[in-house]
């Protein structure tokens, strides 16, 4: 075997600090909540595989962005 050959999966990854910093800036605080959803709705999201909570959050975020200028939202204490 050639000593200069190193398999890609075996080599340590170099970290791109710009990418890591950008991802950190995009991260938002999350809060654990209990929400009641219709079972068929939840089954549909779960049916797409792992990450269903993230998908639900993305759809809610999109809805929020599209309706941001609608009626004001009251913050709960």
The domain limits of the chain are 33-70
At residue 69, the pLDDT reads 85
pLDDT at 37: 97
Tens digits of residue pLDDT in 1-51? 455 554 555 555 566 656 555 555 566 799 999 999 999 999 999 999 999
Going by C-alpha positions, the residue among 53, 58, 54, 51 that lies closest to residue 37 is 53
Rounded to two decimals, the pTM is 0.55
Q: What is the DSSP string of 17-49?
A: HHHHHHHHHH------------HHHHHHHHHT-
Q: Is the pLDDT of residue 76 over 60?
A: yes
Could you report how far apart the first and last alpha carbons of the chain are, in Å? Answer: 65
In this prediction, residues 41-64 reach a mean pLDDT of 96
């Amino acid at each position: 075997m050639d000593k200069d050959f190193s398999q890609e999966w075996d080599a340590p990854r170099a970290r791109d600090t710009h990418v890591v910093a950008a991802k950190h800036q995009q991260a938002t605080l999350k809060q654990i909540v209990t929400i009641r959803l219709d079972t068929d709705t939840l089954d549909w999201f779960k049916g797409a595989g792992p990450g269903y909570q993230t998908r639900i959050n993305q759809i809610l975020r999109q809805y929020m962005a599209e309706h941001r200028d609608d009626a004001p939202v009251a913050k709960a204490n």
